[in-house]
Each structure stands twice: as C-alpha cells, then as structure tokens.
Amino acid sequence: MAGRGSVRASGNFNANQDAEILYKAMKGLGTDEDSIMKLLTSRSNSQRQQIKAAYKTLHGKDLVGDLQGELGGKFETLVVALMTPPILYDVTSLRNAIKGAGTDEKVLIEILSSRTAQQIKDITAAYRQEFNKNLEEDVTGDTSGHFRRLLVILLQASRQQGVQEGNIEADAQTLFSAGEKKFGTDEEQFITILGNRSTEHLKRVFAAYMKLAGYEMEESIQRETSGGLRDLLLAVVKCARSVPAYFAETLYYSMKGAGTDDQTLIRVMVSRSEVDMLDIRADYRRLFAKSLHSAIQVYTEYLSLSQYSAIQVYTEYLSSPCSQYSAIQGDTSGDYRKALLLLCGGNDA
C-alpha cells in the first residue's frame, strides 16, 4: 500500500525553516491559517514531528500548544490530529472512546477491525506506555457479551497466516449452519471464524458462502445478528474484502444526513492520508458515483448554511448524480474545509 497516500514527505524539507514559517504565521495580531494548513498538509507525519522538535529548540515553546492557542473549532481538532504520531493518535482515540460515561463503540470497531496485526501490537504497547493501563483490560471492562469476545480476539493480533485450502468449504458450511440454516444464531461460530482466519482465507470463504447460501456474508450478518456485534462483524468482513472500500463507506456515512460525524471524518482523513487515501477516493467514486472531494465541498458548505437551506442542499446532493454537483465550489473560505480538501488531495469527478 506504500505510495497510495495523498500526503507524502516533502522532498525539499528543512525542519528549521518550516518551524520559522509556523512561528511567523502565529506571531503578532491575527493568525495566517492558510500558511499553517498548507505547510502541515504537505509534510509527512514524521516530518511534522521534526518540525515540532525544531520549534521547541528555536523558540522554547510547544508547537502543538501554540497552535491550539491560535486556532479553534474543527480546524483546531484536525490540526492537532495532524501533529500527533499515528500510533499515538490511535491510542488516544481508543482511550477517549473508553474513558468516562458510555463507550464510543464506533471508534473501537473502526480501529480494531482495520489495522494490521503489527499495528495492533504497537497500539497495545503504546497504550500501556502512554496511560500505564492494559488496553485489553480497559476494553473488557467497558464492553460485554459476544461484542467483547470478538474485540478481545482482534486485540490478540494473531490471525492464521495464508489460506487453508481444506477448510474453505468447511468454514462456509459452518457459517451457514450457524446462521441462515437454523432457527436462532450461533454467534460463537461467526466470531471464531471471522476473528481468527486470515483475510486471504476469508475472501475465499465469502465466495464459497455465496455459492452455498445464495447470500453475501454481509446480508446474513445483517439478518442474524444485532447491535455492536453486528456492526463489528460487518466491519471485519468489509475490511477483509477491502480496507479502502470500508473507509470510503465510513466517510460517506460520516457526512450523510442529520447524523453527521465530524470526529469520524477528521479521524479517517488524517489517519489514512499517508496510507491509502488515493484508493479510498477511487472506491468512493465507484461506490457512490460522486467524488470524495465534491462530497466534502458540499458537506462543509452545508455546515455553514441555515438549518433549512443546509438540509435542502445536502439532501439534493446525496440524491443527485455526480455530474450535477461535482463542480460545486461553494464558499471555500472555511479553514476546516480547505484542510480537508488538501488531505483529500484531488477531485475524481
């Protein structure tokens, strides 16, 4: 997946010069948000960490603290996310999802179903180092039932390797017998197979299941399970098929209708910007007949309108073909909008 991000390391990089540009952008009256966003979205995360260190050396101040003092709202949230190392960003997102009243299951599902085995191991180690706590214990203390069991399996990061040719048909039959073929559902079988087999193996199982049951795996999960377990199983299946397609769908629903979710939008745009954003854009276009770039443009315009106008504009956009709306520019003065579009990296309309 290397090289499929929309954000890449700058070839002519000088941490001290970049630190000075950011210092001047925040010095005196007013803040030059354009300079800040253009610089940070054109540097890799590794380079941003070097800029942060250079800023501290040159000015004796914390760059992130200064940025927070000068910026505000969703734009500030996005910039702070850009300045956070990827593993630490995942760790902090998980901690915030768990601590306090209630659990943000959406964050647990997204991160634990989409990250590689090595990333999960790194997250577990970093969580302990950062918070002096055990991630598995925190997850189990905040969740329950089959949902908790599958989360714990995913936290082990120990999926089988390769394809077990002799088990493909047997796994498909087991899943069919555990759901569609019987009254009620044997959730344990779904959890065991979907939580432990390799993604390569699961793709073969899904194809065999379709031939056997006449349904896609996702359709059966929708019918046979519910709540957090259903959402987690669906995420695991979708990520086994295609992680970029999973994130394209996640972005679509983060901007859809009254239940918009800027935290998810920011988290995905930042965390995938150096990984597979170009693939996510391609899948977004394929799945929803609209470019991600134009969707962000319209969504951020929607945020700035009156309630009635916003609902009217965005509802029309979601239900209209790409050709009608791909050229919408709207009011591009919002810093949040500009930064999201820079992370998107281009328009596929």
Query: Any alpha helices (H) in 116-198, and if so which ranges?
Result: 117-131, 135-142, 145-156, 168-178, 187-196
User: Are 237 and 201 spatial neighbours (Cβ–Cβ below 8 Å)?
Assistant: no
pLDDT band at 310 (very low <50, low <70, confident <90, very high): low
pLDDT at 301: 79
pLDDT at 55 over 90: yes
Q: What value does the mean pLDDT take over residues 49-58? A: 98
User: Are 197 and 205 spatial neighbours (Cβ–Cβ below 8 Å)?
Assistant: yes
pTM over 0.95: no
Side-chain-side CA neighbours of 201 within 13 Å: the count stands at 20
User: pLDDT averaged over the chain?
Assistant: 90
DSSP count for the chain of H helices, then E strands: 22, 0
pLDDT at 328: 22
CB proximity list for 98: less than 8 A, separation 6 or greater: 104, 108, 138, 139, 142
pLDDT at 65: 98
Radius of gyration in angstroms for the set of CA atoms belonging to the chain, rounded to a whole number: 22
3-state DSSP assignment of residue 83: coil
pLDDT at 332 over 90: no
pLDDT at 316 over 90: no
pLDDT at 258 over 80: no
pLDDT band at 327 (very low <50, low <70, confident <90, very high): very low
pLDDT at 43: 98
Longest Cα–Cα distance in the chain: 70
* Token pair 């610089």 in the structure block, residue: 39
CB proximity list for 220: less than 8 A, separation 6 or greater: 175, 179, 180, 209, 213
Q: What value does the mean pLDDT take over residues 267-292? A: 97
Residues 158-169 as b/e (b if ≥16 CB within 10 A, e otherwise) read: ebeeebbeebbe
Residues in the chain: 349
Least confidently predicted of 18-22, 257-261, 264-268, 273-277? 257-261
Q: Is 57 exposed, middle or buried (0-12, 13-18, 19+ CB in 10 A)?
A: exposed
Percent of the chain with pLDDT over 90: 81
User: Are 153 and 195 spatial neighbours (Cβ–Cβ below 8 Å)?
Assistant: yes
Hey, what are 27's tokens?
Answer: 């010095």
Residue 180 gets which letter from DSSP? T
Q: What value does the mean pLDDT take over residues 38-58? A: 98
Q: Give the closest residue to 108 by CA, choosing from 151, 159, 76.
A: 151
